[in-house]
Amino acid sequence: MDDKEHALLLASIAQDFYLSKLPVSDITKKYDLSRYLITKYLDEALARGIVDINIHTDYARSARLEKQLSQIFPIKHLYILREPASPSKRQGILASFAAHQIQALISQSHIVGLTWGEAVFAVLDAFSRQEVDNLTFTQFLGENMKYNSSSGSMRMVQKAASSYDVAYTTIPGPLYIINDQVRSGLYQEPSMTEAFQTAGKMDLLLSGLGTIESINSIPAWRSSKQAIFPGVDLTQVAGMAFGRPYDINGQFLVDQEHDKTFSLPLEQILRVPHRMAVVQRRSKASAVLGALRGGFFTDMILTEAIAIKLQKLL
C-alpha cells in the first residue's frame, strides 16, 4: 500500500470513528484490522493532520509555549492560558481553569495543603461543591498575618473545606518566629502538633508565588527582614515560595540552620507528590523562572503574558 492509499485509509477510519460514531469493534470488522491497528491509525491520523480536533471552552491554552518551556524546565505539567479578548476576564478564566485542575487532583487525594494569596483565594472561590470521602485540608506553615484580607492563610483552609463539607486543621502561629527556642517549643504545643502531623501526610498542595514585596506589605515583617532572613542578600531575591526566599536560579537563600519559618521542613514539602502553583501577575515572571529552575512544583498554571516575559528572561 503506497502512502496515498494509506492516507485514504486513515481518513476513512477517522470518518467512521469521529463522524459516523461507529464503535471500534465495528470498524475492525469493516476493515478486517485488529483493535490495536485501528487505535494506532486513529493516532496517526491526528499526528499527520488528517484529523483536526478543536475544543471550545472559555479558555484556550498555548500548546506551543507549553511545549517549548516544558522542554527547558523540570516540571511534569505546565499549563499556559492564552490571553482573553477582554483583559478584565483574565483572573476569572485563570481561576476557573485552575479550579477544574485542582479539584480533579483533590478527588484523588486525602490531605491537601494550602498557602494563601489572591491567586489561591480566586481558585478556591471558583470551586464547585463536591463530595469526597476521607479528605482534610490543612495549613503547613504559619499565618501570613494579613488579618484584614480575605486572602489570609487561615481563611483558605476554611473556605476550601466548606466546598467539600470536610475537616480542616490550622496552625495558629505566625509565619516567622525569630527566637529559635520559642519556635522549637511551639512545634511541641498540642495546638500545633495535629496540624503539622496532618501536613506531614499531604499528597497535594496548592500555592501561589510571592515576591519580596509581599514581605514589605506586612509591617511586622517589613521592619524585621534582616532578622527573619539572616545573612541573605535581599537584592538577590527573585521570589518567595513556602515562605522562603529564592534566587533567579532556583536556589533557596536560607539554609535549614537559619530558617526562621514556622513551617513543615522544606525538604518534606518538596516531597509532596503533587505541588500545584497558580500565578496570574506578569510582574512575577522572575519568581516563576526561579521556581521552574528549582523544580519546586510538579504542576504550574500561568498566563501567556507571563510565559512570553519568561522567555525574554532566559
Q: Cα(171)–Cα(143) distance, rounded to whole angstroms?
A: 7
For 151, phi and psi rounded to 5 degrees? -100, 25
Q: According to the model, what pLDDT value does residue 208 have?
A: 94
Average pLDDT for residues 105-120, to the nearest whole number?
93
The answer regarding whether domain 63-313 maps to CATH 3.40.50.12780 reads no
pLDDT one-digit tens code per residue, 180-212: 999 999 999 998 998 999 999 999 999 999 999
> CA-based angle 215:219:221, to the nearest 5?
45
For 301, phi and psi rounded to 5 degrees? -120, 125
DSSP β-bridge partners for residue 239: 246
Rounded percentage of the chain residues whose pLDDT exceeds 70: 92
For 142, phi and psi rounded to 5 degrees? -65, 175
17 confidence band (pLDDT: 50, 70, 90): confident
Domain with CATH 1.10.10 in the chain: 3-47
Check: CB of residue 128 under 8 Å from CB of residue 103: yes
Q: Which residue has the higher pLDDT, 288 or 119?
A: 288
pLDDT one-digit tens code per residue, 209-230: 999 998 888 888 888 999 999 9
DSSP letters along 224-266, please?
THHHHSTT--GGG--EEETTEEE-TTS-BSS-GGG--B-BS-H
1 confidence band (pLDDT: 50, 70, 90): low
Torsion of the alpha carbons at 95, 71, 286 and 298, rounded to the nearest 10: 50
In the three-class reduction of DSSP (H, G, I as helix; E, B as strand; rest coil), residue 83 is classed as: coil
Check: CB of residue 302 under 8 Å from CB of residue 79: yes
Q: According to the model, what pLDDT value does residue 54 have?
A: 61
* Average predicted confidence (pLDDT) for the chain: 90
CB atoms within 10 A of CB 154: 18
Domain with CATH 3.40.50.1360 in the chain: 63-313
Residue partners of 248: CB distance under 8 A and separation at least 6: 236, 238, 286, 289, 290, 293, 313
Average pLDDT for residues 63-84, to the nearest whole number?
91
In the three-class reduction of DSSP (H, G, I as helix; E, B as strand; rest coil), residue 293 is classed as: helix
99 confidence band (pLDDT: 50, 70, 90): very high
Q: According to the model, what pLDDT value does residue 163 have?
A: 94
Q: According to the model, what pLDDT value does residue 214 have?
A: 87
Q: According to the model, what pLDDT value does residue 87 have?
A: 58
DSSP β-bridge partners for residue 112: 137, 204
Q: Is the pLDDT of residue 59 over 90?
A: no
DSSP β-bridge partners for residue 80: 302
pLDDT one-digit tens code per residue, 141-182: 998 876 556 556 668 999 999 999 999 999 989 999 999 999
Question: Can you give the pTM of this predicted structure?
Answer: 0.80
Q: Is the pLDDT of residue 57 over 60?
A: no
| Length reported for the chain | 314
Domain 3-47: give its CATH code: 1.10.10
DSSP percent split of the chain into helix, strand, coil, nearest 5: 45, 15, 40
Q: According to the model, what pLDDT value does residue 89 have?
A: 66
